Structure 1
Amino acid sequence: MSSIPKNKEELENAIKTAAEKLFADYRTIPHECSRVPGVEGNVKGTEISVCDTVAYLLGWGILVIKWHTLKSRGEKIDFPESGYNWNQLGDLATNFHEQYKDWTYEKLLDEYETTLKKILTIISRTSNKDLYEKTWYKKYTFGRMIQFNTSSPMKNIRTKIRRFKRAKSL
């Protein structure tokens, strides 16, 4: 399988595989280390906590669900999110961190797992044609937009988490 899913089955597998690997790493991080800065941030030169990485993924997952819901109703979608432009993704990431700053590590992981299940349900209920054979946003298909905001950042964050674990001898 290529790194970029080209159909519904590959997308489902990419998300499940990335999630399985990432959650395996997350589960080895003790709760007391989950809020310690030391993970390379989304904004150049910043460090964030493990919890912030989950908040980031959760934030994007929730946006994918929101986009699908709005599009299904024929409503306008304010990409990437209301109040943010594509050139403000660092600010959006910081907003996700702030939004979930009081959540426990366990609650974040549980909520992200639930969000991924919802996304996989959306994929399972969407035809391959609707996922990959028509443009959904600008030049991108819905499947590609899902991948951009699920399996792709999960792989990226897993690399950062593994670096953090090595640095902290976890």
Structure 2
Amino acid sequence: MDCLPKHPRSPSSIKYKARVGYEGEYYLVQKFISAGDGFYAVRTPGSGTGKMAKPDIIATDNGELLAIEVKSTRKKYVMLNQEQVNRLLEFCRRFVVKCPRCGVEIKAKPILAVRFLNRGWKFIEVPEDWRGSIIVRVDEASPRLLQSSPSHSDVEAGSSFPKKKALK
């Protein structure tokens, strides 16, 4: 189901880019839904627009709550700028589900899902305390997390997602 929309006259057109992004999100939602009990996902309309922090997809992955920011690209890399990272992390900090019986709080895990067109997917769990931009390259095993500190040191992070059945 990793088919692409019909190639337009202008691949840089806003309409085509939006279509490619929508199809990536739709593909992931369908993978969660088809995985069976314990797995489900919904797209959040208008994600990435306005001032409200909200991810592209909210999903359950065998009991884990996920907030997924989806990026699709034809390039060999994608960058999530500091503002986008902050909005994803803010959503996860504020979107907390509390069990009425035991009082346990369940927080969403912040996930960056990158679709490299005709090359596959990469999934990165963003550290909750991260401050900075993230660059994901198709040919690198780990993403580059660019720390927004005076030293601007690069930090390597492992791609621990997906662990579950939904996206295998």
TM-score by length of 2: 0.30
Instruction: Work out which structure has the larger RCO, using CA pairs closer than 8 Å and 6 or more positions apart in sequence.
Output: 1
| Larger helix fraction of residues | 1
TM-score by length of 1: 0.30
